[in-house]
Amino acid sequence: MTLRPYLFLSLLAAGLAQATEPGIRLDAPLGGWRPGNGEGANFRQRVNYPAASVNTPADQALSARIRGEIANAPKGRPATLVVNGVSMPLKIGEDGGFDRPYAFPAGSNSVEVISPDGQRHERVQFYHGGGGGEVPAKLRVLLSWDSDNTDLDLHLLTPDGGHVWYGNRSLPNGAAQDVDVTTGYGPEIIATPTPLKGAYLVYVNYFGGGYSQDEESGNVEAAQPLTTARVTIVTEEGTPDEKQESFLVPMRQPGELTLVKRFSYP
């Protein structure tokens, strides 16, 4: 088959454009093998109400954070972050940068970042040696949702009657919440290295969202009343016995409280 000159040049130009298109840069975590180091591996994050979002403590170690940049990222849309097979939105800044803490379990880990348009991705695989004093989470519950400027809240009730939520972010039994995200997408994560045996209840509360006011009637209503929550429950993370379950939950209006899952551990 003979290609006409103009067709060949068009294909060549398209290939060069794709090859030179700016991509995704992952500064952390780094690939390969690394020993464990519990220093600077903070789980709980700072909360500044009324607008609280995912943030990284100043002393957060590079081994316990996900940081990088997406060149020419579309404005107003989140990227996708996939950590060890669990997908969640990744909010990016005006400059395309992202930076969030993450306490990785010992063993093999993978982190993938996908651009908002789904056309570019960057993935890193690494082995976390552990042994640095950090305690792996044996139970992790993650909440994310698909809209900006909305506030969903994750609640976990533990077998001893404990209740982890934004108003009580850590319990004596070891369960703790990382951050209360009020600005959209999440994720919010509740984890414990010492889960009690017994029944757990996972709830999602639609606390509120962006609001708009009708100029004629003066009525105030949610700008986007419907948002879809994604809840993922991970047990025995980083071990051969690891299990993951994910649930999609439509949240229709502020004030709604939904029981997502009742489960027993172990």
Which CATH number covers residue 45? 2.60.40.10
Domain match, 187 and 257 both: yes
**Between residues 126 and 15, which one has the greater pLDDT?**
126
Contact 249/258 with Cβ under 8 angstroms? yes
Average pLDDT of the residues in 67-87:
93
Which among 118, 134, 150 is the end of a domain?
134
Domain match, 171 and 100 both: no
Q: Give the mean pLDDT of the chain.
A: 83
Domain match, 147 and 181 both: yes
If one counts the domains in the chain, the total is 2
Average pLDDT of the residues in 2-20:
50
**In what side-by-side order are the strands of the sheet with 65-70?**
24-28, 65-70, 97-101
Contact 140/191 with Cβ under 8 angstroms? yes
Domain match, 156 and 207 both: yes
Query: Which pLDDT band holds residue 148 (cuts at 50, 70, 90)?
Result: confident
Query: Which pLDDT band holds residue 56 (cuts at 50, 70, 90)?
Result: low
Average pLDDT of the residues in 139-146:
95
Domain match, 130 and 246 both: no
pLDDT of 94 above 70? yes
Domain match, 172 and 115 both: no
Which among 134, 160, 193 is the end of a domain?
134
How far is the C-alpha of 194 from the C-alpha of 181, rounded, in Å? 24
Contact 223/210 with Cβ under 8 angstroms? yes
How far is the C-alpha of 64 from the C-alpha of 27, rounded, in Å? 12
**pTM metric for this prediction:** 0.81
Q: What pLDDT does residue 126 have? A: 92
- Would 1 be classed as within a structural domain? no
How far is the C-alpha of 185 from the C-alpha of 179, rounded, in Å? 13
Residue positions counted in the chain: 266
How far is the C-alpha of 28 from the C-alpha of 186, rounded, in Å? 20
Using CA atoms, how far residue 81 sits from 36, 92, 219, in Å, is 23, 11, 37
Lowest mean pLDDT among 6-10, 98-102, 152-156: 6-10
The DSSP line for 3-45 is: --HHHHHHHHHHHHHHHHS--EEEEESPSEEE----TT---S-
In the chain, the percentage of residues whose pLDDT exceeds 70 is 76
Query: Which pLDDT band holds residue 65 (cuts at 50, 70, 90)?
Result: confident
**Between residues 63 and 116, which one has the greater pLDDT?**
116
Domain match, 110 and 149 both: no
- Would 216 be classed as within a structural domain? yes
Contact 264/200 with Cβ under 8 angstroms? yes
Domain match, 198 and 158 both: yes
Q: Residue 176, SS3? A: strand
Q: What pLDDT does residue 20 have? A: 43
Domain match, 141 and 266 both: yes
Contact 248/228 with Cβ under 8 angstroms? yes
Domain match, 170 and 57 both: no
- Would 7 be classed as within a structural domain? no
Domain match, 130 and 167 both: no
Contact 178/43 with Cβ under 8 angstroms? yes
- Would 12 be classed as within a structural domain? no
Using CA atoms, how far residue 114 sits from 20, 29, 79, 93, 148, in Å, is 18, 15, 6, 15, 18
- Would 204 be classed as within a structural domain? yes
Q: Residue 64, SS3? A: helix
Domain coverage including residue 53 = 23-134
Average pLDDT of the residues in 118-139:
82
pLDDT of 230 above 50? yes
**Between residues 165 and 186, which one has the greater pLDDT?**
165
Query: Which pLDDT band holds residue 49 (cuts at 50, 70, 90)?
Result: very low
- Would 82 be classed as within a structural domain? yes
Which among 134, 151, 178 is the end of a domain?
134
Domain match, 152 and 109 both: no
Q: What pLDDT does residue 23 have? A: 92
